[in-house]
Amino acid sequence: MTHRIGILTGGGDAPGLNAVIRAVVLTAARCYGAEVVGIREGFDGLLSNAPPMVLNEASVRDLLPRGGTILGAVNRGSPFARRVERPDGTVEQVDVSQEALQRMDDLKLDALIVAGGDGTMAIASKLVQMGAKIVGVPKTIDNDISLTDVTFGFDTAIQTATEALDKLQTTAESHHRAMVLEVMGRNAGWIALKAGVAGGADAILLPEIPFDIDVVCQKIEDLRAAGRRYSLIVVAEGAHPVGGEQQYYIDGEGSASARLGGISFLVGNALQERADVDVRVTVLGHLQRGGQPTPHDRWLATRFGAAAVHLVHEHKWGQMVALRGETLMYVPMEEATRLKFVDPEGDFVRTARDLGIVFG
């Protein structure tokens, strides 16, 4: 019988994490009389002696519409490769996974629910192999986790990106400009694709389809010839030109500015030069992660949270909740670590092309 469940949130935050926490607490209490404690800062919280956060109906009351995660998300690394600074100043990566297991015992956790992305699921999966009682909830605003049709946070990110396109459209039209909007998506272009179609983009550049800038220039010229003097271009941060194998995205260390934009500036400058058009670049950045989850994401996060508790009750360690169509499924965590990509020949891209959207 399950008496005490731990929950942690790993990786970057996503709108809906707090709704998962709320659903876990309510379902555990009502269906199984179990209590829930929150582990802070992802797996780091299993490696410190900080007391866990006691969670009950009162403490989760206002969490449903609240963005972010009250459990925090400042990971310092996997328990299998934790950065440890030695007295002599050198840094080593140490396997402290046994400590994590021990801490779960010390906290008298009958089970642990982890909400996270592919990295978090990979860690959790290895801990399960060592005997840990863990079930998973998929989380990524990029929607690039295999085995689930959709993840919470994605719809909210789409909404933020589409609203940005709506805003850019009016000023683009007034000033006859080409507006470049960079959205999240280092490996997979789901946000760019869906927000691009919903926001009326003329070109969408994705990691999965290397682009030819001349195709985008041609599109701008075609639009102009047809009487439309502005254009909207959506660029996923992981997009890259044909033949450009290297990633243009720079995740600089020690520099706040280095994290901002990269490929979108290259695209913007190229358009400005070649297409004889006035260009402006906007990098949406962290705005996509924040804010209140949409009703869809609150609903999905709530379903995932409640289902995870049932999964615990059934002792399905190593399994992760997932959605297929409208149906909740259980799938092995380890398979979820494969990324899900936009199919360049698939139905979604074809629909966009039908409308005249170019992919470069």
| Number of helical (H) and strand (E) elements in the chain, helices listed first | 9, 13
Which residue lies nearer to a second copy by CB, 39 or 132?
Answer: 39
The letter for the amino acid at 349 is: V
Which residue lies nearer to a second copy by CB, 122 or 260?
Answer: 260
Q: Residue 54: in which H helix or E strand, if any?
A: strand 53-55
Active site residue 142: yes
Residue-level length of the chain = 360
Within 10 Å of residue 43's Cβ, how many Cβ atoms?
Answer: 26
Place of tokens 């008496």: 3
Closest CA to 118 of 12, 240, 19, 23: 12
Of residues 254-293, those binding a second copy (CB under 8 A):
254-257, 259-261, 265, 268-269, 271-273, 278-283, 285-287, 289-291
Which residue lies nearer to a second copy by CB, 31 or 242?
Answer: 31
Mapping DSSP onto H, E and C, the string for 101-135 reads HHHHHHCCCCEEEEEECHHHHHHHHHHHHCCCCEE
Q: Say if residues 49 and 26 touch (Cβ distance below 8 Å).
A: no
Give backbone dihedrals phi and psi of 87, rounded to 5 degrees, phi first.
-55, -30
Buried-exposed string 54-78: b where 16+ CB fall within 10 A, e elsewhere:
ebeeebbeebbebbbbbbbbebebb
- Binds a second copy (CB under 8 A): choice among 142, 298, 313, 330: 298
Which residue lies nearer to a second copy by CB, 186 or 280?
Answer: 280
Of residues 300-359, those binding a second copy (CB under 8 A):
302-303, 306-307, 309, 324-328, 347-348, 351, 354-356
Binding mask 63-82 for a second copy (x = CB under 8 A): -xxxxxx--xxx--------
The answer to whether 53 contacts a second copy (rule: CB under 8 A) is no
The answer to whether 166 contacts a second copy (rule: CB under 8 A) is yes
Q: Say if residues 284 and 181 touch (Cβ distance below 8 Å).
A: yes
Total residues contacting a second copy by CB under 8 A comes to 99
The answer to whether 26 contacts a second copy (rule: CB under 8 A) is yes
Binding mask 90-129 for a second copy (x = CB under 8 A): ----------------------------------------
The answer to whether 83 contacts a second copy (rule: CB under 8 A) is no
- Binds a second copy (CB under 8 A): choice among 3, 76, 83, 228: 228
**Which residue is catalytic, options 142, 155, 202, 297?**
142
Read off the tokens for 329: 């499924």
The answer to whether 15 contacts a second copy (rule: CB under 8 A) is yes
Binding piece for a second copy, criterion CB under 8 A, among 47-55, 95-103, 104-112, 164-172: 164-172
Which residues participate in catalysis according to the annotation?
A: 142
